[in-house]
Structure 1
């Protein structure tokens, strides 16, 4: 590759980008649902919500793991002139691209409280927890391989690190970029 490098975003950061907003919007929707008695009552809504939380967290954490692994296996090293996107930029881009989707999911979860209180919010929070668990899984893989996984930003589009355009990832050493394995913020050095 010549001097015209590619812009690369961390795979784990893209995965982790939705975890925090989904979690907090889910908790807020569950809190609103707690205030509404609903058709079924708070107790049934709470039990259903707990079950939905576990199911959503498990499904989101496990779905597409083979795709991540297939794209990571044998991934080439990033070129010298590739640009590594900052964690904050990746988070901001993902959240801006998904703002209306997040708002719609929140309204749906809060609106579902009129039928089944608390459950919709806990399902949304479970999806956020599942994304966080998936980022931890990616972080464990990055630590064991001692490489960080990156995806071209033009391939990932608005935050799909396993989309149809993505044919593979690039790798760097474990110290590259401003995020730890798994996408967490790297502590600042004093």
Structure 2
């Protein structure tokens, strides 16, 4: 059992929060890379694409494994969610994360576009790699959830106090529920069929 406050709390799915940035980063990166290919740049398109491919792979690996040990520690100490805890809908968690990070996403997109004048497509591919890494991290969390037959949740107030990071310093522990709780499958994807809590 986790240590800490056991009062009823609003809870957001850890995997859903991790996954929330994957699609925006991927599509903004693809769009920026596509536009970047229209610009010759200083290095030329060929070098830009090769550099972008390397950045894509590096970003994907780094994001996938970043703070993995912290996630494991929090998952091990997860306490069972109380019957009065409120499980946040998947759509609400995604919307809150994206709303809280919209300016960062915009700045990252503009930076990727601007970098095309130096190294075509590389900045966009870097963004796309970060998105792919988040998707892979969410998939890894989903495998842990299925293996442990428990979904991982984080307190909404802790999440909000740490800029939407589900493994940040303010997050003391996770809470767990049965595998059928909530409206998101293990890994944070939408459930294909309605599940009973």
Please confirm whether the aligned pair reaches a TM-score higher than 0.5, indicating the same fold: yes
Shift of 1:21: 0.0
Aligned pairs for 1:91-102 within 5 A: 91-102=94-105
Unaligned runs of 5+ in 2: none
User: Equivalences for 1:53-72 in 2 at 5 Å?
Assistant: 53-72=56-75
Structure 1, unaligned stretches of length 5 or more? none
1:22 alignment counterpart: 25
The secondary structure found in structure 2 opposite 1:49 is helix
| Deviation of 1:164 (Å) | 1.1
Aligned residue pairs, count = 189
User: Alignment partner of 2:168: what SS?
Assistant: coil
Name the structure 2 match of 1:159.
Answer: 164
Q: Which residue in the other structure is 1:175 paired with? A: 180
Structure 1 window deviating more from structure 2 (15-24 vs 154-163): it is 154-163
Q: Hey, what does 1:125 align to over in structure 2?
A: 128
Q: Please list, as runs of the form range in 1=range in 2, the aligned pairs for 1:8-19 lying within 5 A after superposition.
A: 8-19=11-22
Pairwise CA distance, 1:97: 0.2
Whole-Å separation in 2 of the counterparts to 1:4 and 1:75: 15
Does residue 144 of structure 2 align to residue 135 of structure 1?
no
Query: Residue 49 of structure 2 corresponds to which residue in structure 1?
Result: 46
- CA drift at 1:136: 0.4
Using the alignment, how far apart are the partners of 2:172 and 2:117 within structure 1?
44
Counterparts of 2:156 and 2:14, CA distance in 1: 10
Shift of 1:163: 1.2
Q: Say whether 1:90 aligns with 2:93.
A: yes
Q: Secondary structure of 2:62's match?
A: helix
